[in-house]
Amino acid sequence: MPASRRLSLHDIYELRTLLAPVLSPDGRFAAVTVVSYLEKDNERMESLYLIPLEGGPAHRLTRVKEGGSAPAFSADGTMLAFLSTRADEPEVRAMRPKSAEATDRKAAPTKDRPQVWVLHLGLGGEPRQVTYADEGVESFCWSRDDEIVYAARSPQGEEKEYLKSVRDDDGPIVLRRVQHKMDGQGYLDEVRTQIFAANVATREVQQLTDAPFSCRLPACSPDGDVVAFLANCTGDEDQNLRRDIFLIRRSSGVVSRLTRGDVDAASVSEPPAFSPDGDKIAFVSPLEPENAYLVQRLMVVDVEQARAIASLDAEVGKGFSSIGGVVMDASPEDPVRHAHVYPIALEATPLRVVTEGLDRPVLGNVRWLDHERILALVADRAQTKVARVSLSGEVEYLAPQRDLGSVQGMDGRGGRIVATISYPDTGREVYEIQHGAIRRLTSFQAEALRDIAQPRMERIAVAGHGGVTVDALVLLPPGHVPGTPVPLIVEIHGGPMWYDSPQFDFDSVYFAQHGYAVLKVNYRGSISFGEAFCKEIQGSWGPREHQDVMACVDRMIERGDADPGRLYVMGFSQGGIMTNWAVGHTDRFRAAVSEHGEWEYVSAFGTDDCHLWWQDDLGVPWQNLEGYRRMSPASAAANIRTPLLITAGQEDWRCPLDQAEQLYLTLRKRGVPTELVIYQSEHHAITRPRRAIDRLRRIGAWFARYGGIAIDDDSAEGYPGPRGEKE
């Protein structure tokens, strides 16, 4: 029977998001976190599954809402540890003094305090809580079968009192840090993160670091004796990205420093990876840590190169001829270079840049297959791929094996590799990669996508700005006859260095199934096409990307697949910024939707959480007002005539609400049709399913209002409009 059903908004509740899988030590099983959404509770649910690689269905391990994430097998494979925000076990509550328990409830966040829990896979039963960190556990690793090493915030004395005061809504927020806010976290305090070890059986805790800086992302050596962690010891960690690798040898207590301040070993926010014999460590860093437009390289350093240090306290500021940080007052000829006041390391880390000859970024998921070969995710021409890299620098792409599909996460050991791969027609599932073949292991999306009439996806190449070839993805409605013009939605990706991959994307499929052609352009800046392609937009957002997008729009019209009188544009984050730029530089779009974007960059500096990025691109605004204003979409405010729907998160610190408000009032004052939709308590994302549904419904209604396709989909509950009616 031919597929005939269209994707509905209610399918948001039926589809699943699979996070990165983890292999068991014997390679027989993979553990994976599966995220779903609860319609009644309007919340997400995390469930842990065990997937047998030798055949058989996935086995669900947890069933509560806070089921767990970041699974990790013990060395013998009998236990599975994971993070969960479920309530403390009664035994743990009983361990806390009553006075301390009351204080902790006040001092700690009201939610999202993950702790480490352990399931015994052989004996079964409920998971057992191992940690009880007041502020929750950030990340962890198995040190031995009976010990968990973890990173957790460690407030002391006055810091505890301050947290209690702020969280009681009683006291003022006092800011002393340069990086004073962060999206998803809010205003930042001065509490440091330290490394601890917890005995799995007794829950006894030992503090391993007590540094005057934060110590994060611990990794344990194969023999459990060495703990590696990442820390910025410059003494000015908010004004640079020099995060180094430190080592603690448990048997001797010796602390050493492995990297020398010239790299950013935390650039992909994952722990460093020990080789199977523990002699080497692999990590990812760009060659210039503060330059976001450079490809990230896979690097390897010998553990024996670590230099013993007297103490972590004594290491603050050590190893640098200059720390930088402060931008001196001046009227420089080159305000951008003048503001590049970053640390200067006294010596280079004795490392090997394994992917020195590869003009593609390494995204992480670094895993040693054996002593000479490393697995990692690499971005290549809009696809995230599993790559096998030899220490001599040879790179072999293992998956996907065609030009559609993209990898989300993977793990490997010995001869086995598992990965979550998203294909346009099947969504995200777990696959095994072995002997040059890819074998599907799960079918989490099968029921939700059953009988769905899939749009056709294809890749096109277009000569963009300056004749440089630009890659784009096109989704055409099911049954579309080539050369038949239909309304076109240009969906601009964020980043700006990120890229649109040829994978299943709910938004794009939804609109394509209802009759739109959807165009997703990997405009100049998309890092998966190499460093030179990406660096072209450094310090000059807008013109090149816009011309690339419009060149692809013209190609769709030339093909006869896009109706030139019914063009629409939308984008989220940097895509919202580029939408704001587009409507200021062309009147060809009948309507536009700008989501969680920015508008005027002088006022963005200090109100968003990207000060280092601005500084590296444009210098500081008081020394380069002209540059900031020229690059801002607001520079073309007087040209905008296109009806614009604007959305924003009330607590978005990446692209703050006041940016959306400035844009909204500018357009209202000029008589341009516009609406501003503010999602309360949201950060730089849409986290609740009902809001995701409301967002798509509003976008569809906005385009329909200006000549687009009226989508009749009442399959899921949304929010009422301003007059009480649903749109």
Q: What is the per-residue pLDDT for 144?
A: 83
Tokens of 239: 């004004």
Average pLDDT of the residues in 495-501: 95
With DSSP H G I counted as helix, E B as strand and the rest as coil, what are the percentages for the chain, rounded to 5? 20, 30, 45
Task: Confirm whether 589 is domain-assigned.
Answer: yes
The domain tally of the chain equals 1
Which percentage of the chain shows pLDDT scores above 90? 90
- The whole-angstrom separation of Cα 544 and Cα 521 is 12
User: Is 592's pLDDT higher than 80?
Assistant: yes
Residue 73 DSSP symbol: E
What angle (nearest 5°) sits at the alpha carbon of residue 494, between those of residues 490 and 500? 65
Q: How confident is the model at residue 363 (pLDDT cuts 50, 70, 90)?
A: very high
User: Is 2's pLDDT higher than 70?
Assistant: no
Q: What is the per-residue pLDDT for 97?
A: 61
User: Is 724's pLDDT higher than 90?
Assistant: no
CA distances from residue 617 to 181, 291, 401, 466, 578 in whole angstroms, order as listed: 20, 8, 37, 22, 17
Average pLDDT of the residues in 495-503: 96
Q: Which domain holds residue 643?
A: 453-705
User: Is 172's pLDDT higher than 50?
Assistant: yes
Q: What is the per-residue pLDDT for 107?
A: 45
Task: Confirm whether 317 is domain-assigned.
Answer: no
The mean pLDDT of the chain is: 94
- The whole-angstrom separation of Cα 567 and Cα 333 is 43
Task: Confirm whether 352 is domain-assigned.
Answer: no
Q: How confident is the model at residue 714 (pLDDT cuts 50, 70, 90)?
A: confident
CB 488 within 8 A of CB 569: no
Q: How many CA atoms lie within 13 A of 1 on its CB side?
A: 5
User: Is 108's pLDDT higher than 50?
Assistant: no
Q: What is the per-residue pLDDT for 99?
A: 47
| pLDDT tens-digit readout, 505-543 | 999 999 999 999 999 999 999 999 999 999 999 999 999
What angle (nearest 5°) sits at the alpha carbon of residue 363, between those of residues 285 and 375? 100
Model-level pTM? 0.96
What angle (nearest 5°) sits at the alpha carbon of residue 371, between those of residues 370 and 373? 60
459 - beta bridge partners?
473
CA distances from residue 42 to 65, 67, 505 in whole angstroms, order as listed: 12, 16, 21
In this predicted structure, which of 346-360, 452-466, 574-588 has the lowest mean pLDDT?
Answer: 452-466
Q: Where are the alpha helices (DSSP H) in 366-505?
A: 446-449
SS (H, E, C) 90-111: HHHHHHCCHHHHHHHHHHCCCC
CB 293 within 8 A of CB 534: yes
Task: Confirm whether 635 is domain-assigned.
Answer: yes
Task: Confirm whether 474 is domain-assigned.
Answer: yes
- The whole-angstrom separation of Cα 560 and Cα 503 is 25
User: Is 490's pLDDT higher than 50?
Assistant: yes
Could you tell me which residues come within 8 angstroms of residue 13 by beta carbon, excluding any fewer than 6 positions away? Answer: 36, 37, 38, 39, 689, 716
User: Is 573's pLDDT higher than 60?
Assistant: yes
User: Is 591's pLDDT higher than 90?
Assistant: yes
Strands of the 351-353 sheet, one edge to the other:
273-274, 280-285, 297-302, 351-353
What is the dihedral sign for C-alpha 215, 216, 221, 223?
positive
| pLDDT tens-digit readout, 25-68 | 999 999 999 999 999 999 999 999 999 999 899 999 999 999 99
Q: What is the per-residue pLDDT for 548?
A: 97
Q: DSSP characters for 345-382?
A: ESS---EEETTTT--S-EEEEEEESSSSEEEEEEEETT
Q: What is the per-residue pLDDT for 170?
A: 85
- The whole-angstrom separation of Cα 519 and Cα 464 is 15
| pLDDT tens-digit readout, 114-133 | 999 999 998 888 999 999 99
375 - beta bridge partners?
367, 388
Q: How confident is the model at residue 1 (pLDDT cuts 50, 70, 90)?
A: very low
CB 541 within 8 A of CB 573: no
Longest distance between any two alpha carbons in the chain, whole Å: 73
CATH number for position 664: 3.40.50.1820
Q: What is the per-residue pLDDT for 727?
A: 52
Q: What is the per-residue pLDDT for 202?
A: 96
Q: Which amino acid is at 410?
A: M
Q: What is the per-residue pLDDT for 583?
A: 98
Q: How confident is the model at residue 693 (pLDDT cuts 50, 70, 90)?
A: very high
- The whole-angstrom separation of Cα 323 and Cα 89 is 46
User: Is 162's pLDDT higher than 80?
Assistant: yes
Could you tell me which residues come within 8 angstroms of residue 41 by beta carbon, excluding any fewer than 6 positions away? Answer: 65
Selected residue with higher pLDDT from 724 and 709: 709
> Does residue 592 sit in helix, strand or coil?
strand
User: Is 159's pLDDT higher than 60?
Assistant: yes
| pLDDT tens-digit readout, 416-462 | 999 999 999 999 999 999 888 999 999 999 999 999 999 999 999 99
Average pLDDT of the residues in 347-374: 97
Task: Confirm whether 289 is domain-assigned.
Answer: no
Q: How confident is the model at residue 3 (pLDDT cuts 50, 70, 90)?
A: low
Average pLDDT of the residues in 598-621: 97
Find the Cα–Cα–Cα–Cα dihedral 129, 130, 134, 140, rounded to 10°. -120
Q: What is the per-residue pLDDT for 169?
A: 79
> Does residue 490 sit in helix, strand or coil?
strand
Question: Which of 620, 406, 651 lies closest to 504, judged by CA?
Answer: 406
Could you tell me which residues come within 8 angstroms of residue 721 by beta carbon, excluding any fewer than 6 positions away? Answer: 727
Task: Confirm whether 403 is domain-assigned.
Answer: no
> Does residue 5 sit in helix, strand or coil?
strand
Residues comprising the chain, all counted: 727
Distance from first CA to last CA of the chain, Å, rounded?
A: 34
Burial class (CB within 10 angstroms; exposed 0-12, middle 13-18, buried 19+) of 166 = middle
Which percentage of the chain shows pLDDT scores above 70? 97
Question: Which of 159, 300, 143, 287 lies closest to 222, judged by CA?
Answer: 143
Question: Which of 76, 23, 83 lies closest to 54, judged by CA?
Answer: 23
CB 234 within 8 A of CB 321: no
- The whole-angstrom separation of Cα 637 and Cα 550 is 19
Q: DSSP characters for 133-169?
A: -TT-EEEEEEEETTEEEEEEE---THHHHHHHHHHTT
CB 617 within 8 A of CB 632: no
Q: How confident is the model at residue 93 (pLDDT cuts 50, 70, 90)?
A: confident
Task: Confirm whether 523 is domain-assigned.
Answer: yes
